[in-house]
Structure formats: C-alpha cells, structure tokens
Amino acid sequence: MYDFPQDLRDAQLALHQTRAAYEQYAADLPWSAAPMPGWEADKQLHSTYRSGKPDSPGYTQEQAAEVARYQAELLRLSLEVSTHPYWSTLDSGVMEARMALKHAHETAGDEAA
C-alpha cells in the first residue's frame, strides 16, 4: 500500500531489533540502577499477595555503559525514522503510514516465503 524507501524500512527494522535486544538485556539487570535497599509491603486486605523487592546492588559501570549505548542508539534510530524525508511527501494519512511502517518488515517476510 505504501512505497517506503528501503533506507526507511531498514531504519525501522533496526529500531525494532535494537529495542528487542535492549529489553532482553535489561531483563537481567538489577531492578534499580543505583544501589537501593529492598522492601516488602504489607499484605493487602482480602489478598494473599505481598509485593516487595530484594536489595539491589545497582548497575556495574559496564551495565550502565551498555544501557546508555542502547538508549543512544534507540534515540538515533527513532529520530532517523521520525524525521525521514519520506513523511513530507505524503499529503495525508501520515499516521496510518507510520503505523504501516512498523509492520512493513512482517509483510516483506511473508512475500519472500
């Protein structure tokens, strides 16, 4: 439906992949970037659930640097996608086109199969 330029499609795919890699990396990090004591909340009325967190040692210097690297790359790719000259060629339907771009890599994979 949309004739997205290849560099825009590539940037969007890189954004998806980088975000997925960052989320996977962040899943194994301590819950707090800075050292913080753990806590446990009181049991809520009519519930057996008790929320809490263990002590967090904070991020190591390497972990903090890797998080910063991911965040900088995500920002760079987001800007590349959102400010691409292609968007100024559309008279209307920019929001729909942006949403379609987010799934363009899925349809490209389906066509290749």
Summarize pLDDT for 39-57 with one digit per residue, the tens. Answer: 898 877 787 878 889 999 9
What pLDDT, on a 0 to 100 scale, did the predictor assign at position 43?
77
Q: Is the pLDDT of residue 113 over 90?
A: no
DSSP run (H or E) holding 52: strand 52-53
In a domain, 49, yes or no: no
- List the domain range (segments joined by +) for residue 21: 1-29+60-113
In a domain, 44, yes or no: no
What pLDDT, on a 0 to 100 scale, did the predictor assign at position 47?
79
In a domain, 99, yes or no: yes
Helices 94-102, 6-27: axis angle to 10 degrees equals 60
Summarize pLDDT for 67-98 with one digit per residue, the tens. Answer: 999 999 999 999 999 999 999 999 999 999 99
H-state helical runs in 1-113: 6-27, 61-82, 94-102, 104-112
Report, as an integer, the average pLDDT of 4-13. Answer: 97
User: Global pTM?
Assistant: 0.82
Q: How far apart are CA 18 and CA 96, in angstroms?
A: 23
In a domain, 81, yes or no: yes
In a domain, 100, yes or no: yes
Q: How far apart are CA 109 and CA 112, in angstroms?
A: 5
In a domain, 22, yes or no: yes
User: Which three-class secondary structure state does DSSP give residue 53?
Assistant: strand
In a domain, 54, yes or no: no
In a domain, 1, yes or no: yes
Dihedral over Cα of 87, 91, 93, 95: its sign: positive
What backbone torsions phi and psi does residue 40 show, to the nearest 5 degrees? -140, 125
Query: How many domains does the chain divide into?
Result: 1
Summarize pLDDT for 28-40 with one digit per residue, the tens. Answer: 999 999 999 998 9
What pLDDT, on a 0 to 100 scale, did the predictor assign at position 106?
85
